[in-house]
Structures are given as structure tokens and as C-alpha cells.
Amino acid sequence: MSAVEDTRVLELEIGNVAGGGGCVARAPDGRVVFVRHSLPGERVMAKVTSSTRSYLRADAIEVLQPSPDRVSPPCPHAGPDRCGGCDFQHVDVAAQRRLKGFRIAEQLEHLAGIVREVTVEPVAGDEAGLGWRSRIRLAVDPEGKVGFRKHRSHELEYVDHCPIADPAVMEVGALGVEWPGADELEVFVGPGGTDAVVSLTTSNPVKVTLPDIKAGVVARGRVLRQPDAVHTVVAGFNFRVTNGVFWQVHVGAANALGNEVRAASGVRPGDAVVDLYAGAGLFSVLLADAVGPAGSVLAVERDRRACADASHNGKRYSLLRVMKASITPSLVEDAIGQPDLIVLDPAREGAGTGVMSALDTHASTVRKVIYVSCDPASFSRDIKALLTRGWSISTLRAFDIFPMTEHVELVASLTPPGQG
């Protein structure tokens, strides 16, 4: 159903938080309205930005009755028709976590059929929700100037500073120069800015003019200036992350999630572990250290560069094997052996019910499945495939590794029937 432009202004009573970073209201004609820059319980004047037959989208442009959780946005680029990167700049940080907890509980009940309250926990490394992103992506206009896209728009909000970025990202200087010939750029830094890489999206790398900044530059896989990877340390282990390979963006996320995966899994020396969607091998390396020489770890990842990083990061462990493959039901059923533990950390869309159902074929031998997810909806849909087969949730924790946005990270341990 396509949306059309709509410029009406409506007075609305705001209801619960919804997906997409806004809250729900009801238009005078009965249609649902998704209102950004609002909070539950508020009364606002909202400018409609688009409409369909069944719903409207709108921005709160005037707050008539504010919520006690409303604060002044710390970023000057936040607000209606401004930068689309943050959803909750106008929300107290503690209240942001309560809203995320509500959304998790709502999705669990609606999609997985379970009633469970979840407290969203802060993660070390940010200051009141700011200064946490080690990786930012910007658009570039035809003149080479950079900015963030506005919400659901190709228009740019031009910036020279991002408050949620790690200060080391700002020190690279990529936002203060022009990038003629580029379409988009991503800045990725290691701890303290020891390594920095700017990755460019461009139709022709040869025509890109490189400014004088302290960072490597890569365009469409071609290294224009070294380095092409950053290096970081998690729980005392060194990791290389090549340009374009997935890595948690919050500076404290890898430590928090790595520690929780080890704790929730109950990993033991001698265990056989399978790490699905392994990326650069964060969980594979930590679990390889835990299982010891008598155990084994199989890391499965489809991206060639990520496989190379995982092999490099786990090279000290002969027991760690990296398999380049897509995660499919048949692979899960037939190609991973009989593990004691399975870890999966899929992309936002989730693993899918086919893969989740295939995990159940290991119910008689596996001790636990650890599911790491950045989306409560896909997580809830996925785990239902196991819950309906008698599996249970042993532990479930939520981490606020995306402050100022609607996003949240979940780590759950799932136990087969008869082992709960």
C-alpha cells in the first residue's frame, strides 16, 4: 500500500509507543497515526507527513501537554524534518529504556504468546546515551558535503558533529571535509581512535577526491589508503574487523554481549559449540577459550570477509573451525554435527521459522540455544517456533546498546523439552 504526501495538522492524544520510533494516536477519521517526536500521554499538534487508506504518519510539531519524561534534545539536529538517525532525543534516558521494555513485552505477548516483563539494562561506554557509536554512516551530496538523511527521505541534514558518536569518530575529521565523487561514507574507529577506516559508496572509485584526514579509505572494496581494518580488544582478546564486516557499534556492546553469552550458555570445558551468523568471530573466540582443547567450535558465516576475520581472530585455537556458508534449515539439520551449545546472532530480520524449526532437530542432544537479537519482533516470531515445540526460555536479558533510538539488543537462552 503506497503512501501519499499529506500536509494536514491534527490535534492528537498520544497512546503507547510503537515500532518505527514513534507512538500511536487515532485520527478524527478513525485511522491510526504513527507520531514521531511524541511520548505516551501527551497531547500534541502533529503535522501529517504521509497517508494511506489505513494509517497516517506524522511529526509532533507542538506539544500542548508534555510528558514528564520529555527533555530538551541534546542534539541540535534532532526534531521534525531534521536528522532521521535518532528516535528518542526528546526522551529521558531512563524513560527510553522503559519504553523499550514495554515494546519487548508487547511483542513477546503478541507474537510469541508469552507474558514476560523485561528490564532494559544500560551498557558501559556511553555518557547519558551519548558518545557511544564507533561507526556512523552519512550521505554525500553532489558537491561532496556530508549529512544524515532525514526520516523516510533522501533530503540531507548537514552536520559537522554527531553527539551519539564516539568522540574518536569526530576526531577523524570526515564530517568537516568534502568528499567529491562519493555517494555515501561510513566512518569506523577502533578504541580510542587507534585505527580508523572510511568506507565509501561510489559508482567510480577512481574519481573520488581524498581529503587529508587520519584514516584509511576503502571504496567498493578497493583500498585507496591503508588501513582497511580496525582492531579492538574484548575480554582481553584481540579482534580484527575489516571494513564492511559486521561489528557491534556501541563501544561497550561487544564486552557486554560476550560476557552474557558465556554466562547464559553455561559453557563447559570439552563442549562442542556451533556459532551461527558468526561474523568476525566475537562469540566463537570467547567460547573457544572456554571449551578448551578438549572442545570444539564451528563458526558458520556467509560473508567472505567476515570468515577471513573470524579465522584470523581465532587462529590461536586449533579447535575453532570457520565454515563459509549461508544459514539454511538443511545446513542446521545436517551439517553442524551434534553440538552441546548453539549460538545464533542473525541480522535484524531474524533467522526465520525454517531455521528455528531445524534447531529443534537437535533437541535430544543440545543443552542450550543462545539467541542474540536486535529486533523484538523477529525475535518473538522466531522463538515461537521452539516454544510451541516445548522449549522454554531459561534467561532473557535486554541491553540498551542503541541509546537515543528505538532499538534494543536481546540475549536469550532457550532450553529443550525436559531440560528446563
Which active-site residues does the annotation give?
Answer: 374
Are 38 and 23 a contacting pair, CB within 8 Å? yes
Cell of 82: 531534521
Q: At what angle do helices 376-387 and 93-107 cross, to 10 degrees?
A: 30
250/150 Cα distance (integer angstroms): 22
Report whether the peptide linkage leading into residue 74 is cis, meaning its omega lies within 30 degrees of zero: no
Residues 6+ apart with CB under 8 A from 18: 24, 34
395 touches 117 (CB < 8 A): no
Q: Could you give the CA distance from residue 252 to residue 286 in angstroms, rounded to a whole number? A: 16
| Residue 270: partners with Cβ closer than 8 Å, 6 or more residues away | 291, 292, 294, 295
Grid cell in block for residue 137: 554512516
Tell me the CA distances in angstroms from 192 to 22, 214, 255, 352, one per residue in order: 34, 13, 16, 37
Closest alpha carbon to 40 in 15, 4, 20: 15
Asked if residue 110 lies in contact with residue 378, where contact means CB atoms within 8 angstroms, the answer is no
Q: How far is CA 108 from CA 265, 360, 412, in A?
A: 21, 20, 12
